[in-house]
Amino acid sequence: MAAEKNLRGETSELKVALGRRYHFAASHRLHNANLTEAQNQEIYGKCNNPHGHGHNYTMEVLVSGPVDAATGMIANLADLDAFVETKVLNDYDHKSFNDEVPAFREVVPTTENLCIDIFQRLKSFPQATLERIRVAETGNNSFEYAGEHTEDTLP
């Protein structure tokens, strides 16, 4: 990471993290085509309902980087918002994961797998380092993914 000048003009590499929250609504059916109907029923219960069901998801994106000496910011929020909208929200919001998001044709669209897919989509954000994705499916369930040192791939 390049050294930055801090507010007093001193060279600094202090990293600060920026978290931003986004919302999307989408539907899914938890079903693994490699398992029998009975196994799917047993594992996923009512989430295996053939017609699917929806959630109002909350997604938190955490990025980090040095504070730019001129702007006092890690990254411009408008740039982050535009990037997230293009890379994730346009494909996810008001969609059926199983039917409309190719990454989930073969992969079960659990919130764990959403975290991994979102991380892959956002890790190329040019202005800061993507640290972590957190997705809450309901008020009671949330999942986090912070990437791997090797290539991030869905199972």
Binding site for Ni ion (CB under 5 A): 47
Q: Compare residues 47 and 69 and give the one whose CB is closer to Ni ion.
A: 47
CA distance 48 to 51: 8
Q: Is 47 a catalytic residue?
A: yes
Helix (H, G, I), strand (E, B) or coil at 134: strand
Which residues lie below 8 Å from residue 119, measured CB to CB, with a gap of 6+?
A: 130, 133, 145, 146, 147, 152
Q: Is 137 a catalytic residue?
A: yes
Q: How far is the CB of 31 from Ni ion (least distance, A)?
A: 11
Q: Compare residues 14 and 33 and give the one whose CB is closer to Ni ion.
A: 33
Q: Which helix (H) or strand (E) holds 133?
A: strand 129-136
Q: Compare residues 56 and 76 and give the one whose CB is closer to Ni ion.
A: 56
Q: How far is the CB of 53 from Ni ion (least distance, A)?
A: 6
Active centre residues (catalytic): 47, 94, 137
